[in-house]
Structure 1
Amino acid sequence: MNRRSVLRPASTHAMSVRRPSRLLFVLATLCFMILFIRILPGQSVMNLTPSFARKQPIAFRPSSFDWSTVQEHFPVQPDSLTPLPTGHKKLPKVQHDFPSYEHDEHTEFRRSKVKDVFLKCWNSYKAQAWGKDELRPISGGGKDTFGGWAATIVDALDALYIMDLEDEFRHAAAAAVEIDFADTEDTAVNLFETTIRHLGGLLSAYDLSGEEALLRKAKELGEMLYHAFDTPNRMPGFWLDFEAAKSGTQLGGTRDPAAGPASLSMEFSRLSQLTGDPKYFDAVHRVKKFLQDTQESTSLPGMWPTHLDFQHMSASGSHGYSLGALSDSLYEYLIKTYLLLGGADDSWRQMYARAMEVVEKHLLFRPMTPRKDDVLFSGNTWVRVDEGGRVDLDAEVQHLGCFAGGMFLLGGRTMDVSRHLDIGVRLTWGCRWGYSVMPTGMMPEIFGLFACRGNEDLLDFCPWDNERWRAHTLAPTLEKGWRNAREPAYQLRPEAIESMFVLWRISGDESLRDAAWDMFESIMQATETDLGNAAIANVTVKRGQAEKLDSMESFWLGETLKYFYLIFSPPGLISLDEYVLNTEAHPFKIPR
């Protein structure tokens, strides 16, 4: 008798009677074994956590130097620390109500394509540049630009989590919590960049995952960065010089970029919220007080110039104003810190509202175009103090300033100001227009336009003046209305898609997703390499002819691709009513 005949049931009828009871017994046994293995002592079935958190906790490894052992030379006494504000308000609803949203196959296809690009870049980084700050997307290998502390790993942590890449997230998180912040060839660290990328990345990854090791590493880094405030007036410099911090010889800068020390409030406030230690919030609260005290004493009252004297706590020595480089996130953080603090400190909102009055009056402009495009941009303003305080607008636009559309939208919804919403829409579409009229489909880093003249209202159109354009353009081969493309590069920046994402989440306008897809395809066509994506030197050349640069900064993964992924994701993923994103696109949970 062969084995097969022995295993065959005696009859079909017999099998139909006996099989259910046997299966039930096997299933019951398996369920019992699984519960026995997975339920730890003192843990109930209802307490079993999602798969992201069920695995072995990630092990924290401290850096080789402990900054908490460094004695402060200009300490704040414990009874003088400013505590976190209490009494959170019921904040207005920011995000559009999506009652009938359906995530269709078309949108999922787009999202999966973005995820594929992310994974290609991430896998190349793992294979070619693991532990380095960024990948060289053309030549291969990596390079260090921010202390050699694996900026790409930390910047990409929350993106890995958001994209549901569990194994990759845990692998990256395990590496992030082992970073030795004492191991660097640099003698100083950029306080702003390290805060928004590394501290922000660690805090956000903790907010999303709950992995305690990430918070411990964030606190360790926060302790080091906190020593940048150990100066006679508690104003930090743009750089944290390690030896100067240890010897007590640090001073605030006399002409530092305003966005440096003034854009730390979200990360330090969140660190205080999560650890319960008020000293981090106290540090940035003092910078806010300096801004508050000087807001009306600048040469353009209501705004702060691009450079500030933190050492002497003066804002009167510089007279250039912008929402671009040097001061951009200062303004962004006013309204976002207000939200992060649950509306409990209204001074942040008041400072923002006052600043935007001046921005609207003196920095925003409608470009003169032959088609009367319904768009706005933010330029640069100079106050001629030696000429009676005349205020001159330079209609030069920076890609960095494209965040302003999202800022106005977020502020308009938070403060219920419909005009700010209108401005935010037009600013967002302005940057989209800047992409669409370039031969490569991408907007330059810096370019000049022609501002409409004599408009009584910023939102009014102006007639096309062909003679004015012909007489002053330096770029006659570009779209009519362009004055120049002074810096024609595209550096994989996220600001334009950031505002598109915010506008979609606030308005629910589905046409934004089609526009975003056009942007994504143009970027991919021009920047894709064998290893990932590269910045390009000139967006004004014909498609397919742009020279690629061997650079792929960490924000490509941490911001740009994350925003593209989110705009093609269901609106409940990182809801703007539950999270506020820092300037590096790291979402922080809004306390309720």
Structure 2
Amino acid sequence: MPQFRPPTHRQWRPRSRLASLTRGKHVLVAIALCLTIFYLVSRSGGTSESTLLERHMNSGPPRYPIKVVKSSVDWGNIEYRHPPPTNLAQLPKPPRKGKGNLPRVQHKFKKESAAARATREARRDAVLRLTKKCWDSYRRYAWMQDALLPLSKGGTQQFSGWAATLVDSLDTLWIMGLRDEFDEAVAAVAEIDFGSSTSPLVNIFETNIRYLGGLMAAYDLSGRGVLLQKAVELGDLIYGGFNTMDRMPVDNINFEAAKEGTGLLMEPHVVSASPGTLTLELTRLSQMTGDPKYYDAITGIVDLFYRGQNQTAVPGLFPMFVSMAHLDVTAGNTFTLGGCADSLYEYFPKMHALLLGGHAQIATLTRGFLDAAKRNLFFRPMVPDSTSPEADILISGNLNFDPDGNSRLDPETEHLTCFIGGTFALAGRLFQNEQDVAVGARLARGCVYAYRAFPTGMMPERLNMYRPHLPKGFTTAKDPRYILRPEAIESVFYLWRITGDMEWQEAAWDMFQAVARGTATETGSAAVLDVTEDKPNLPLDDYMESFWIAETLKYFYLVFSSPDLISLDKYVLNTEAHPFLLPQT
């Protein structure tokens, strides 16, 4: 696979316009112009991040030459054993024309004081510095590999060898104004060969959320045509994952079988999040390209979950494992919003937003899961300071059924489950139910509480808490790691943008200081093996997941940026925090 190699130094890059003004009078003119601009900006209170974003989108050609290498397999021209239907489902139309298809989601923020702005921007810049450090280390030690090994200063392949961290980080670089780094990364993306894989099996879920989501979001932000071109190449590969008898997706695409179009082997059972988390990206790809085939592919998934929603042991919710091979999303005894199921539910309200409220089944799925989760999964744990406002929290547990059909709530939760606060708040606004916004706040506050409760200021990967009928406190930290996960700050971001309450910015700053300190290495950040003991040097794992830059640091940055940057009324973010533009009506 041809690979773009970064330069060892930066002197060769085109010189700036100001640097080319070598004559004295031109320098004076340029200085005067800069002083004038500085004066005007300072008088106007500064330039918002949204204005900077617009300037980036119209700031001229990329600084790096683009050499597009078409993938060695033309996934769009594979002859399938199980071809798609001739009459493809079309994207639904919004329920009414013009503006107002969706209610306002984001809080109407008032102008902040100079002191508040200075504090916010200082915090934002701290996030930027850490992101830059991590990206520079990836660029130096793991370029074009999937992930950085921050302790051994190397790289590793994890997801087919298509530079997962690079693709996953594209929109973060753009949002943070790292234009030079973005341009260099785009030039490298242009040479990725999606016809060659380091693994014989391509995981459809991870490929979809990290790679396809990353490419499309970066295209939505920058308008760079090469990103859409590569997104279509990859989208056609994912589309090939539906080459099965019932046109349902496999969990892992056999790369060689997919090339031949001979049909794929369906797994007997898969986690429910795997098929359920293909909907947003493939819908957006149809919106971008005008080709309905991608959206058509996911309509079967939506219809299957819709028909089964009230046939499960917990009507409204789906079991952790489902069977695409047997078209069964109802049989199962474990129900959770955590790992294996999380983004299935996350995508219900986000699909509602992306389709501008134009899909009745999606609306029903969303409302059904919200009501069922409130009735069956959420509990208020016993905590020592139960009378304080900060302790007005909810935790999402797991519901298990025994062979006799008796249910038991397991008060175990995961960091992965922390997304649910933001999802409830978002759905509450989309469906104009402020009670659900309040429930989302209590859920997000529960994860913030877990961060603050441990001596390192970081929440463990998995823990248990007492329900009210037992003594106060935590019972276990079954998995004491912090692996750079974003879900807690994700919910804090949504609650900040939706409510405007300052408690969320303060919580975000506490969390950022803790994770930045606890994960710090010479080359960036590494996962922590045990957050339950406060030691001078925490034990670290030699790994930096691509979602650290793509999600965690991006959410921290957005909390401390102008609310106009990636507004929740203009974008919907996928489960990897990649922002997709809402279509214009």
TM-score normalised to the size of structure 1?
0.86
Q: Residue 522 of structure 1: CA displacement?
A: 0.8
Tell me the equivalent position of 1:587: 579
Native 8 Å contact 2:310 2:316 kept in 1 = yes
Q: Residue 525 of structure 1: CA displacement?
A: 1.5
Native 8 Å contact 1:319 1:382 kept in 2 = yes
CA distance in structure 2 between the partners assigned to 1:49 and 1:434 by the alignment: 39
Counterpart AA for 1:430: G
Tell me the equivalent position of 2:433: 417
1:577 to 544, 569, 582: 569
Native 8 Å contact 2:80 2:261 kept in 1 = no
Native 8 Å contact 1:406 1:499 kept in 2 = yes
Which structure 1 segments of 5+ residues have no match? 1-22, 32-46, 454-467, 470-479
Tell me the equivalent position of 2:293: 279
What secondary structure is seen at the aligned counterpart in 2 of 1:591?
coil
Aligned pairs (5 A) from 1:90-105: 90-102=101-113, 104-105=117-118
Is it true that 1:186 corresponds to 2:193 in the alignment?
Answer: no
Tell me the equivalent position of 1:361: 375
Counterpart AA for 2:407: V
Q: Residue 55 of structure 1: CA displacement?
A: 4.0
Counterpart AA for 1:573: L
Tell me the equivalent position of 1:241: 254
2:220 to 177, 191, 207: 207
Is it true that 1:513 corresponds to 2:529 in the alignment?
Answer: no
Q: Which has more radius of gyration?
A: 1
2:549 to 545, 550, 557: 557
Native 8 Å contact 1:295 1:302 kept in 2 = yes
CA distance in structure 2 between the partners assigned to 1:198 and 1:452 by the alignment: 43
Tell which deviates more after alignment, 227-236 or 170-179: 170-179
Q: Residue 88 of structure 1: CA displacement?
A: 5.0
Native 8 Å contact 2:80 2:263 kept in 1 = no
Aligned pairs (5 A) from 1:74-223: 74-79=82-87, 81-87=88-94, 89=96, 90-102=101-113, 104-223=117-236
Q: Residue 543 of structure 1: CA displacement?
A: 3.9
Q: Residue 406 of structure 1: CA displacement?
A: 0.1
CA distance in structure 2 between the partners assigned to 1:370 and 1:321 by the alignment: 29
Percent pairwise identity: 44
Native 8 Å contact 2:94 2:358 kept in 1 = yes
Question: Per-residue CA shift, 1:18-70, capped at 9, x if unaligned?
Answer: xxxxx89x98xxx9xxxxxxxxxxxxxxx998554444784432111211231
Q: Residue 87 of structure 1: CA displacement?
A: 2.8
CA distance in structure 2 between the partners assigned to 1:55 and 1:137 by the alignment: 30
TM-score normalised to the size of structure 2?
0.87
Question: Per-residue CA shift, 1:178-208, capped at 9, x if unaligned?
Answer: 1111222211111000000000000000000
How many positions carry a matched residue from both structures?
A: 526
Is it true that 1:535 corresponds to 2:527 in the alignment?
Answer: yes
Tell me the equivalent position of 1:464: none
Tell me the equivalent position of 1:382: 400
Question: Per-residue CA shift, 1:56-97, capped at 9, x if unaligned?
Answer: 784432111211231011112332x10011135520000000
Is it true that 1:63 corresponds to 2:71 in the alignment?
Answer: yes
Tell which deviates more after alignment, 307-316 or 51-60: 51-60
CA distance in structure 1 between the partners assigned to 2:371 and 2:380 by the alignment: 16
CA distance in structure 2 between the partners assigned to 1:452 and 1:350 by the alignment: 32
Which structure 2 segments of 5+ residues have no match? 1-24, 34-53
Question: Per-residue CA shift, 1:352-403, capped at 9, x if unaligned?
Answer: 111111111111111012321210011111123x32x322100001000000
Tell me the equivalent position of 2:46: none
Q: Do the aligned partners of residues 49 and 520 (structure 1) sit closer, same or farther apart at CA in structure 2, a change above 3 Å counting?
A: closer
CA distance in structure 2 between the partners assigned to 1:424 and 1:543 by the alignment: 33
Question: Per-residue CA shift, 1:151-181, capped at 9, x if unaligned?
Answer: 0000100000000111111101111121111
Native 8 Å contact 2:248 2:324 kept in 1 = yes
Is it true that 1:339 corresponds to 2:353 in the alignment?
Answer: yes
1:499 to 491, 501, 513: 491
2:411 to 395, 400, 422: 395
Tell me the equivalent position of 2:49: none
Tell which deviates more after alignment, 308-317 or 98-107: 98-107
CA RMSD of aligned residues (A): 2.1
Counterpart AA for 1:70: I
Q: Do the aligned partners of residues 368 and 164 (structure 1) sit closer, same or farther apart at CA in structure 2, a change above 3 Å counting?
A: same
CA distance in structure 1 between the partners assigned to 2:55 and 2:202 by the alignment: 42
Native 8 Å contact 1:59 1:213 kept in 2 = no
Aligned pairs (5 A) from 1:23-62: 52-55=59-62, 58-62=66-70
Tell me the equivalent position of 2:445: 429
Counterpart AA for 2:573: L
Tell me the equivalent position of 2:8: none
Q: Residue 484 of structure 1: CA displacement?
A: 0.4
What secondary structure is seen at the aligned counterpart in 2 of 1:357?
helix
